[in-house]
């Protein structure tokens, strides 16, 4: 089948997940055309056919979402977004897709709906839309806003394949939950403890670094500042995928923002995690909350000495909990991963996507 696979370019998790799924789909004989932007396009276009577009961005300052800067950036980009829409209309005309898969990319999802094409959402965001889950009362407003943003971003899909490291009842018959998708490179790693802590931030987070400098006996390898240098107990490294994963595999713990992919991979590698969710980003706050509920790490409310000290003191407890990480991930690292979600994709696309079209017809008739 001809499939347009549209991928959000915000962060690295969307494209990492899409690479694994595309490799499986291509192996099953399907034809894939990716659509993405920013980091997603940078990762995907070197290995797969990929159409570059412009897409939405979130702007942060010192680990806090800046609503004003985010709004300003995206308003300035409106003409570019319109040009991307026009480009994608021509792409759809030329490629003639039979199915659209969206990893939280809105334009292709809306074109699929407008043209009556079957639409699959495959991401971790839709667990917040179609799964029952607990969250702190103080985040009630952020939760309400986030769930409506998800609905606004992606029209109701015919089938939602949602990845999650915590489980809850689904709200409908067309949503299916799966363990986090594991990158092939991560599955090949062998974790060890090499005497340092891995720090990862997606934007400069000087408050955290100032605190870490107070722990002079601890060594920290820091990614996210795009430079190579050592300052006292902080070793800064420019990002490289292979080098970063090796450093995750060898660290004592991970101290980072609360992105879904890194948290999932740290759990697989049994690395305790101190999560500092980006303030104003509900999904990251939810990830950190669930991490703490699972006893795999700590939700960092403030990047202060007390928080980091508490985390270090609890490392043995977190490691003990992680030794029981579910789904057999840690017990059989050589086994083929992602079998559940790949099998569901195969079922949906078999026989000219008969099952997927059944879900589409059922949804449209409801």
**Both 304 and 347 in a single domain?**
no
The more confident residue out of 92 and 326 is: 92
C-alpha span between 187 and 328 (Å, rounded): 12
Hey, is 323 helix, strand or coil? coil
In the chain, the percentage of residues whose pLDDT exceeds 70 is 90
Residues pairing with 177 in the sheet: 162
The stretch 152-160 carries a mean pLDDT of: 89
Q: Report DSSP state, residue 125.
A: T
Q: 128, 89 in Cβ contact below 8 A?
A: no
Q: At what angle do helices 241-250 and 260-268 cross, to 10 degrees?
A: 50
pLDDT at residue 187, as a whole number = 86
pLDDT value at position 241? 76
Report the percentage of the chain scoring pLDDT > 90.
Answer: 65
Q: Are residues 86 and 191 in the same domain?
A: no
pLDDT at position 309, please?
97
This model's pTM is above 0.85: yes
- 254 assigned to some structural domain: yes
Average pLDDT over residues 255-260: 93
Residues 6+ apart with CB under 8 A from 67: 280
Q: Nearest 5°: CA angle at 151, between 148 and 155?
A: 165
Q: Mean of the pLDDT values across residues 154-160?
A: 91
In a domain, 346, yes or no: yes
Residue 331: inside a domain = no
Q: What pLDDT score was predicted for residue 167?
A: 86
CATH of the domain at 217: 3.40.50.2000
Regarding whether 30 and 136 lie in a shared domain, the answer is yes
Please indicate, yes or no, whether residues 311 and 193 belong to a single structural domain of this protein. Answer: yes
Residue 335 has a pLDDT of 42
Q: Are residues 160 and 257 in the same domain?
A: no
Closest CA to 5 of 38, 29, 27, 36: 36
Give yes or no: residues 6 and 129 share one domain: yes
Domain-embedded: residue 330: no
pLDDT digits (tens, 9 = 90+) for 67-80: 566 667 666 766 77
Residue whose structure tokens are 């790490």: 297
pLDDT tens digit sequence for 119-130:
999 999 999 999
Examine the pLDDT at 334 and tell me if it is beyond 70: no
Residues 131 and 86 in one domain: yes
Q: Pairing state of beta strands 234-237 and 229-231?
A: antiparallel
Verify that 220 and 115 share a domain, yes or no: no
Q: Which pLDDT score is estimated for 364?
A: 78
Q: Give the contacts of 361 (CB within 8 A, at least 6 positions apart).
A: none
Residues 110 and 157 in one domain: yes
Q: What gap in Å lies between CA 13 and CA 40, rounded to an integer?
A: 9
In a domain, 300, yes or no: yes
Backbone angles phi, psi at 261, to 5 degrees: -65, -50
Q: Give the pair of three-digit tokens for residue 207.
A: 């408050």
* Residue 217 shares a structural domain with residue 314: yes
Report the distance separating Cα 284 and Cα 277, nearest Å.
5
Mapped onto helix, strand or coil, the DSSP state of residue 348 is helix
Q: Is residue 328 part of a domain?
A: no
pLDDT of residue 163: 94
Give how many domains the chain has, as a whole number: 2
Same domain, 224 and 251: yes
Neighbours of 335 (CB within 10 A): 10
What's the pLDDT at 134?
92
Domain-embedded: residue 96:
yes
In the predicted model, what is the mean pLDDT of the chain?
88
333 in a structural domain: no
- Read off the pLDDT band of 279 (50, 70, 90): confident
Does residue 300 share a domain with residue 263? yes
Per the structure, the complete domain to which residue 142 belongs is given by 2-181+338-365
């Amino acid at each position: 089948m001809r499939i347009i696979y549209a991928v959000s370019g915000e962060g690295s998790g969307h494209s990492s997940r899409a690479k694994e799924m595309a490799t499986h789909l291509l192996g099953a004989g399907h034809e894939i055309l990716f659509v993405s932007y920013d980091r997603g396009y940078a990762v995907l276009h070197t290995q797969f056919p990929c159409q570059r577009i412009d897409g939405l961005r979130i702007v942060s300052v010192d680990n806090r979402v800046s609503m004003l800067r985010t709004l300003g950036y995206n308003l300035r980009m409106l003409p570019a977004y319109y040009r991307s829409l026009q480009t994608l209309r021509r792409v759809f005309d030329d490629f003639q897709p039979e199915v659209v898969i969206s990893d939280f990319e809105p334009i292709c999802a809306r074109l699929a709906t407008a043209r009556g094409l079957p639409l699959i959402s495959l991401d971790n965001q839709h667990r917040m839309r179609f799964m029952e889950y607990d969250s702190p009362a103080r985040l009630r407003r952020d939760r309400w806003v986030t769930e409506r943003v998800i609905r606004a971003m992606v029209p109701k899909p015919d089938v939602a394949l949602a990845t999650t490291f915590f489980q809850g009842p689904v709200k409908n018959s067309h949503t299916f939950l799966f363990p986090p998708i594991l990158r092939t490179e991560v599955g090949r790693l062998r974790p060890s403890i090499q005497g340092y802590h891995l720090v990862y931030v997606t934007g400069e987070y000087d408050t955290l670094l100032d605190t870490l400098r107070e722990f002079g006996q601890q060594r920290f390898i820091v990614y996210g500042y795009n430079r190579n240098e050592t300052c006292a107990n902080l070793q800064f490294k420019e990002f490289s995928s292979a080098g970063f994963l090796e450093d995750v595999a060898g660290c004592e713990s991970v101290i980072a923002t609360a992105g879904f992919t890194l948290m999932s991979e740290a759990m697989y590698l049994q690395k305790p995690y101190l999560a500092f969710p980006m303030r104003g980003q509900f999904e990251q706050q939810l990830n950190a909350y669930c991490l703490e509920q699972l006893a795999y790490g700590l939700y960092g409310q403030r990047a202060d000495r007390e928080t980091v000290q508490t985390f270090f003191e609890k490392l043995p407890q977190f490691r003990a909990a992680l030794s029981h990480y579910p789904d057999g991930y840690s017990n059989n690292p050589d086994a083929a991963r992602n079998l559940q979600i790949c099998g569901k994709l195969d079922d949906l696309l078999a026989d000219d996507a008969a099952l997927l079209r059944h879900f589409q017809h059922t949804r449209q008739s409801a």
